[in-house]
Amino acid sequence: MKQLTLLILLFVNSLGYSADFGVENDRLYISGFLDHKEERDFLQNLDKYPKVKTIVFEKCLGGDAQAVFVFAKIISERNLDTSVKGQCHSACAFAFLAGKRRSFDNGYQTNGMLFHMSRPTGSKDSQKESEVDIKLEALLNKFTKGKISNSIMLMIRNSNSEAAGVLFTSRNYFLFTSYKTMYCDGSQGADASKCMELENADPLLLGITTSE
């Protein structure tokens, strides 16, 4: 298995960045950074292509915290499925959870989802940052139906640096798919092989993905 490179950008200020949208058959692909201001573009794409059933997050490496709730609300209300192709980190990972059916893409690339809390900005408004994290944790519990174990939830809750978090990965081979769940404390930088592999943390059993 090739070394998985972590490209971690945690709830970054999306100034100068935007998500890209593209439609293929019944799949709407989203790449880049999620910005809550792109709500209109997201809705316009869904209205223009009513046959879309699945939102595919492709190389989606973060976004602003408000985008989580904007994208998750639309996905949930429209009963859309979600899929991850390549990397889906921070804001993307939480928005992914709103899918009715949730899965990793079946291509031959390594797919990864990284969950962590928002990164402290160092501003005086720490109370609002704390409130955002409480909402993120509530969303995580809601869409996984409380299946996240206390130990893994604690790891996610205490992860708020650039390269820290719980990383769910899938690697497709010809006859089978390999799943791994790892805890990254941030010291590993871009080398995910240095993260600690977690036992009994299958994404299906934890409610991250679904069997439907």
Average pLDDT, the chain: 85
* Domain count across the chain: 1
Report the share of the chain in percent with pLDDT over 70. 86
- pLDDT tens for 98-133 read 999 999 998 777 899 999 987 665 555 556 668 888
What's the CATH number where 107 sits? Answer: 3.90.226.10
More confident residue, 18 or 41: 41
Q: Is residue 13 part of a domain?
A: no
Q: Is residue 212 part of a domain?
A: no
Q: Is residue 8 part of a domain?
A: no
Q: Is residue 156 part of a domain?
A: yes
Q: At what angle do helices 65-77 and 39-48 cross, to 10 degrees?
A: 20
Q: Is residue 72 part of a domain?
A: yes
More confident residue, 32 or 18: 32
Residue span of the structural domain in which 67 resides? 20-197
Taking CB atoms within 8 Å and a gap of at least 24, the contacts of 171-174 are: 171/1, 171/110, 171/111, 172/104, 172/106, 172/107, 172/108, 172/109, 173/108
Q: Is residue 2 part of a domain?
A: no
Average pLDDT over residues 136-148: 95
Q: Is residue 126 part of a domain?
A: yes
Q: Is residue 208 part of a domain?
A: no
Give pLDDT, residue 42. 95
Assessment of whether the complete model's pTM goes beyond 0.85? yes
- Report the SS3 class of residue 43: helix
Phi, psi of 24 (to 5 degrees): -140, 115
